[in-house]
Amino acid sequence: MQLSHVQCEQYRRDGYLIFPELFSRAELAMLRDELARVAEINSEAVIRERTGAVLSVFRVHDMASATASAPYTTLQGMPCFLEPARQVLGDRDLYIHHTKCNMKDAIEGAVWQWHQDYGSWRLDGIERPEMATFLVMLDDASEIGGCLYFLPGSHKQGRVEPVLDDKTTSYKLWCVPKQRLLEVMSELPEPVPVTGRAGTAVLFDCNLMHASGHNLSRHPRWHVYYVYNRCGNRPQDVPKPRPAWARGQDWQPIHPAFAG
Ligand code: SIN
Ligand code: MN
């Protein structure tokens, strides 16, 4: 799948693109079953909320991980993901920095405060913000269900020095400092809710400011994230590197799935 000129322009302007319902009901059911299975595994790649519910499962794409799952490994090289990622990053040789499945539970799934993903990935030793993420909605994403919100155009601010938030978000998250966020928000259009039917995918820039609210609905909100980086932008050494489930160490280029 190749992006059109208009889509590339839109990505550069807004920092994201939405692809409605890329996956069938049967594919989604299989991905959900697989995620439910790996979420039960006892591994440091499975992170829990304060309540004990599973918050995130990392490294589902990597066959070297206890949380590996074959369908999720295949997904990283699917042309509908890999080709647009190659286009927006201007490089054919990409690897996965990490995969993360966020399983926001009905009623319990909590807030992710405003942040830029590259706020933390720079701390992993990645020198340039030449990264993009594909999100797949495994469930319908609604506002009451704690969908993401994007601040369109905020990626053009570049990386804003983040602050560590270990109060609002269950997971320790490097967030945009409040004053700076308010300034940026006052200059840009209103944040947009990233809603969609299950199977919808979203490609977004690593400096795009985003957040999500509590899941107040009776439905779970499961989202899966594939983070693509250029092989030439692999992390440099840092004093205390995060484990391989957060800071991928397989820097070989991904091969397209089903290549002819
Ligand atoms: C994230 O931004 O890293 C996760 C937010 C979410 O899944 O709601
Ligand atoms: Mn994020």
pLDDT along the chain (260 residues), means of 10: 96 98 96 97 89 90 97 97 98 98 92 96 98 98 98 98 87 93 98 98 98 97 98 97 96 85
Q: Say what the pLDDT of residue 155 is.
A: 98
C-alpha to C-alpha distance for 153 and 191, rounded to whole angstroms: 10
Rounded distance from Cα 114 to ligand 1 centre (Å): 9
- With tokens 């270990």, the residue in question is 166
**CA 42, chain centre distance (Å):** 23
Alpha helices for the chain (secondary structure H): 5-14, 25-39, 70-75, 79-89, 117-121, 178-187
91 burial via Cβ count (<10 Å: 0-12, 13-18, 19+): middle
Bridge partners (DSSP) listed for residue 16? 204
For ligand 1, whether the C-beta of 86 sits within 6 Å is no
Provide the sign of the torsion angle of the four alpha carbons 112, 114, 116, 121, taken in this order.
negative
CB atoms within 10 A of CB 135: 23
Q: Which of 111, 116, 165, 223 to mutate to test the pocket of ligand 1 (most atoms within 8 A of CB)?
A: 223
Residue 259 is predicted with a pLDDT of 63
**Of the residues 16, 57, 102, which should be mutated to test ligand 1's pocket, given the most ligand atoms within 8 Å of the CB?**
102
pLDDT for position 258: 76
Is the CB of residue 116 below 6 angstroms from any atom belonging to ligand 1?
A: no
- Ligand 2 centre from 115 Cα, in Å? 6
Q: Tell me, using a 6 A CB cutoff, whether residue 122 lines ligand 1.
A: no
Which residues is 48 bridged to in the sheet? Answer: 54
Contacts of 29 (CB under 8 A, 6+ apart): none
Q: Ligand 1 pocket, 98 CB below 6 A?
A: no
Question: In which element (H, E) is residue 151 found?
Answer: none
